Amino acid sequence: MSDRLHSWNVNETEAVAIQDRLAEKIILTNGFGRITSVAGCDVAYDLSSGKAFAAVCVFSWPELSKIDEVAAVTDITFPYVPGLLAFREGPPLLKTFKLLAEKPTLVLFNGQGIAHPRRMGLATHLGIIMDMPSIGCARENLHGQYSLPENHKGAYSEITDGTEIIGACLRTQKNIKPVFVSQGFKTDLDTAIRIILACTTRYKMPEPLRAAHMTAGERRKRWPVYPGHH
């Protein structure tokens, strides 16, 4: 994997220009064969120390047993700006992915894929950078129009931007608010929906993302007792 497609030390105007340029590299057809593993990743923050704590948890497919877990800490180098999340979470996540023993088949991101004003949400951006098939699964919608799906697991409605379908508002559990799924890179929307549903068991969020969220939060709580990655 490579993070040399662009610099991360940029301002907001430069970041938008990078997104516009990277958008030309988007591929929305499945770029993988047999699925053997699915990873989830997330980042927690400690604003008082200026640190970001990233975690990646890899699960076997289709058993959904955790087979790898890695974490890393970095300095926060970019502010929180809606639509530019990749520039805040990209550096810590890239550092963490390099610690994995094996490259997963698919990666789930706690953020958007192409359901983004420039089609360059976190899942799409880092999918391109790492050349990994990716899916965005967010708790909130960032861009596009949708209607609420029916109240049962698996129900979804399309998220649209004009005439373009850019994702799905997906119900992963009955009586629970839906999630917002969009294809990131080298994954089509039908596959993204299928993978998210298959990875969601008892809770709202897919198991790989839940695990990464908890791991990142635990590392933040332990700081600075366990600095770095372990």
Could you tell me which residues come within 8 angstroms of residue 127 by beta carbon, excluding any fewer than 6 positions away? 107, 113, 133, 134, 184, 185, 186
Domain 32-220 in CATH 3.40.50.300? The answer is: no
What is residue 2's predicted lDDT score, i.e. its pLDDT?
47
Residue pair 40/209 in contact by the 8 Å Cβ criterion? yes
What is residue 162's predicted lDDT score, i.e. its pLDDT?
96
Three-class DSSP category at 148? coil
How far is 133 from 73, CA to CA, in rounded Å? 24
What is residue 3's predicted lDDT score, i.e. its pLDDT?
54
Output the pTM of the full model. 0.94
**Per-residue confidence of the chain (230 residues) as pLDDT tens digits?**
445 679 999 999 999 999 999 999 999 999 999 999 999 999 999 999 999 999 999 999 999 999 999 999 999 999 999 999 999 999 999 999 999 999 999 999 999 999 999 999 999 999 999 999 999 999 999 999 999 999 999 999 999 999 999 999 999 999 999 999 999 999 999 999 999 999 999 999 999 999 999 999 999 998 875 544 44
What is residue 100's predicted lDDT score, i.e. its pLDDT?
97
List the domain boundaries for the chain.
32-220
Give 3-state DSSP helix, strand, coil % of the chain, rounded to 5: 25, 25, 45
Strand partners, 185: 134
Whose tokens are 């929906």? That residue is 193
